[in-house]
Amino acid sequence: MNEKATGRRTTKSPLLAAVLSIIFPGAGSLYNGDFGRGIAFIVIFAGLVTLQTRSHVQPFAAFLLAGFYFFQIFNAVHQARVINLASSSEEMEEIKAPARPEPRGSIFWGMLMIALGLVFLLANFEIILYENIFDFWPVIIIVIGLKLILDAFRRHQ
């Protein structure tokens, strides 16, 4: 599955990647050629803006939105620097493209995502209210913490 890379890659401007990400979140990743990540960033940004404008969780959603906004800018700059570092290598022919990782999944994370999706779906149809959902968001952190502790105990045994 390892393929040899040949030729020189084009370089990317970290400054341009940052400016594009500032103007339109996700555009920096699109500029760097990472289309999946760029589209995901656009969808996440739109979802966070919608969450902030349609629900009454203003402080929490604003922190999430601000954190994500700055993260995607720094991520685009980092991606551009990594691309430039790889293209500046003199022995580009010797560098092997990494093999695709084996698919893996987690029942816990799958169940958590399904549960959150169902809760938000019920909130969209106003069966439950967003205000009530966000009163219980610390439960998610507690459940994830318990899972991490359980995994640590399993590794030690």
**Residue-level pLDDT at 3:** 45
Distance of CA 2 to the CA centre of its chain: 26
Task: Give the Cα separation of 24 and 76 in Å (integer).
Answer: 12
Supply angle C-alpha 73, 66, 43, rounded to 5. Answer: 70
Per-residue pLDDT of 99-142, as tens digits, reads 666 666 678 888 888 888 888 888 888 888 877 777 887 888 88
Average pLDDT, the chain: 82
Per-residue pLDDT of 69-93, as tens digits, reads 999 999 999 999 999 888 877 445 5
Other Cβ atoms within 10 Å of 82 Cβ, number:
13
Task: Give the Cα separation of 86 and 7 in Å (integer).
Answer: 11
Per-residue pLDDT of 31-53, as tens digits, reads 999 998 999 999 899 888 888 87
Task: Give the Cα separation of 64 and 91 in Å (integer).
Answer: 42
